[in-house]
Amino acid sequence: MTAEGTEGAVEQLRLRARLARLRELPLLRGVGVSGEMARLQHQIDRIAEEPSADDVWQAVELARHQDRPYTLDYVERIFDDFIELHGDRSFADDAALVTGIGRFAGQTVALVGHQKGRDIRERTHRNFGMTYPEGYRKAMRVMELADRHGFPVFTLVDTPGAYPGVVAEQHGQGGWIARSQLLMLRLGIPTVSCIIGEGGSGGAVAIAVADRVLMQENSIYSVISPEGCAAILWRDAGEAKKAAAAFKPDAAHCLELGVIDGVVPEPPGGAHEQPDEAARLLGEALGIALNEVKGMDPTARRRERSEKFRRMGIFLE
């Protein structure tokens, strides 16, 4: 076979594998439930195609759009009642991360989510959604509360990353990110995470070690920001678009790599165009994912969650 022929065959295999995986997608089934077949088809077409550098960059821009709904925008639309809980019980209440309990589809659910600010004053107050160790400790205390009472946990991820500051380091930023992941692996209750904007590195994964991990269509999940990657590997933060195209932080690629379990559709043009509709789609997806894992025995659920993360990675042997 000629080199070109081999390449063509490999490409076909890749495409076939991609389509096979798409058929198993729980959340595309979810959209089907809403009866929006046209959007489902569009979604499949979009994901089935290899996203171009422009597609990836568009996701980066939409994920960070200043009008994009944040955690509390979804909470008020998805939950019937919600009481916010504050403080890490040590010495702070980190406003970059909100926690609470609320009523979702007739049951009590605990919520943990990053919160960016809308205007400059709130952004400063919320530290742009960049959490201190205190924020992860608050998340952990609320997840433990949920575990005691048998409440499922939803986490909504939207952070550029954990805060890179002197005090955050002194308070043990790395250690608390590690312990938050460890706690999430130990929870007996069902957990569902969704990346709703930026899933920035350790600060994101700290609250995303869940039974089901979803991404909204225009969110990103990445090991480093495009600018950070460009600054290190290209020695020029201006090459962020090239970096993003290279490390592929978009939902379609994360799904293909087996990192997430499903993609949550957004209204045309992005979640900010129709926040109510975006919230309805997100709520529906969270409900479907929760139902998938709700019936399991806690020990089996923990084991399955742990094994899911055990399998992640691609290497040669």
Partner 1 sequence: MASRIDVSIEHRGPEPEPTENHPNTCPSCNSHYRDEELDAALWVCPHCGHHFPVRARRRVEQIADRGTFEEKDTELRSADPLGFFDLRAYTERIAEAEVATGLGDALIAGAAMIERRPCELAVMDFAFMGGSMGSAVGEKFVRACERAVDRNVPLVCVTASGGARMQEGILSLMQLPKTVAAVDRLREAPVAFVSVMTHPTTAGVLASFASLGDVIVAEPGALLAFTGPRVVQQTTREKLPEDFGLAESNARFGHVDAIVPRPELRPYLGRLLALFS
Q: Which residues bind partner 1 (CB under 8 A)?
A: 162, 164-166, 168-175, 177-179, 181-182, 184-186, 201-202, 205-206, 209, 221-224, 229, 232-234, 242-243, 246-249, 253-254, 257, 259, 306, 309-310, 312-317
Structure tokens at 129: 């959604």
Nearer Cβ to partner 1 (39/191): 191
Q: What minimum distance in Å lies between the beta carbon of 153 and partner 1? A: 15
Q: What minimum distance in Å lies between the beta carbon of 267 and partner 1? A: 25
Angle at 115 between CA 111 and CA 118, to 5 degrees: 140
Nearer Cβ to partner 1 (82/234): 234
* Integer CA distances (angstroms), 102 to 84, 125, 237, 290, in order: 8, 24, 41, 15
Q: What minimum distance in Å lies between the beta carbon of 310 and partner 1? A: 6
Residue 106 CB neighbours (<10 A): 6
Sign, CA torsion 272/208/85/174 = negative
Q: What minimum distance in Å lies between the beta carbon of 188 and partner 1? A: 13
d(CA 85, CA 191): 18
Q: What minimum distance in Å lies between the beta carbon of 139 and partner 1? A: 15
Annotate 206-258 with DSSP letters as a single string: TT---SEEEEETT-EEESS-HHHHIIIIIS-GGGHHHHHHHH--BHHHHHHTT
Nearer Cβ to partner 1 (233/296): 233
Nearer Cβ to partner 1 (236/276): 236
